[in-house]
Amino acid sequence: MRFADRRAAGRVLADELHKYACRNDVVVLALPRGGVPVAFEVACALAAPLDVFVVRKLGAPRHPELAMGAIASGGVRVLNEEVVAYYRPSPDELQRITDVERRELERRELAYRGGRPHVPIAGRIAILVDDGLATGASMRAAVQAARALGPSQVVVAVPVGAPDSCRSIETVADEVVCVERPEPFDAVGCWYGDFSQTADEEVRELLAQSAGR
């Protein structure tokens, strides 16, 4: 299946999540920016609150492309102990890297959410939504970070994903809902008619609409 755009994909994905509809213990968390239009439709269909869940990778010293951990919305920091043990950053260096990424995370949260508080996650079913899974690295970090906030379950939901990445995420999430797992996969954008970049303004508008419901 090829989706017309992200919001159309969200409506299809919502059909796969119908068992979570009209419950008071569900929250939909969008990975910005591309995950927000998808998650907006999911949250509307499920009658669930919507929030953004911003994740920032903590790059290893001298190898910033390699994640030694991540920080996320809610003041969470998770570390990959194996990578940390290999690169052995000093406590000051680790804190410096964290502080840099924390400032960027806070900037993005302010840009997206404005002054609205976080939607509570503790004790609730957290449905993490993105527009697709390619390598799955960002979603894996999001799952680990969400777990630190104490949800009862973590569900990953995407319209399309690489089969190997979906199987990998299944080892860390309680459930993975993926509408299409094409083989060969190529790239997320190949499965959308319109995969144009989601603008910050669209993110703000959709979050405001959802909060006003």
Tell me, which fold does domain 6-54+123-211 have in CATH? Rossmann fold (3.40.50)
pLDDT of residue 141: 85
Tell me, which fold does domain 55-113 have in CATH? Ybab; Chain: A; (3.30.1310)
pLDDT of residue 117: 86
Domain edges within the chain: 6-54+123-211, 55-113
**pTM higher than 0.95:** no
Residue 8 CA to residue 49 CA, distance in Å, equals 19
Ranges assigned E (strand) in the chain: 26-30, 50-52, 55-60, 63-72, 76-79, 125-129, 153-160, 175-180
Cβ of 134: how many Cβ atoms within 10 Å? 17
pLDDT of residue 135: 84
pLDDT of residue 83: 86
Report the sign of the C-alpha dihedral through residues 195, 199, 203, 206, in that order: negative
Domains 6-54+123-211 and 55-113 share a fold: no
User: Can you tell me which residue has the tokens 């990998």?
Assistant: 168
pLDDT of residue 63: 85
pLDDT of residue 23: 96
Contacts 24+ apart (CB under 8 A), 59-66: 59/97, 60/87, 60/89, 61/87, 61/89, 61/93, 61/97, 62/87, 63/87
User: Can you tell me which residue has the tokens 């949800």?
Assistant: 151
Residue 105 CA to residue 66 CA, distance in Å, equals 18
Q: What is the pLDDT along the chain (213 residues), one digit of tens a residue?
A: 799 999 999 999 999 999 999 999 999 999 999 999 999 999 999 999 999 999 888 988 888 878 888 888 888 888 888 889 999 999 999 999 999 999 999 998 888 987 888 899 999 999 999 999 998 888 988 998 899 899 999 999 999 999 999 999 999 999 999 999 999 998 999 999 999 999 999 999 999 999 877
pLDDT of residue 96: 94
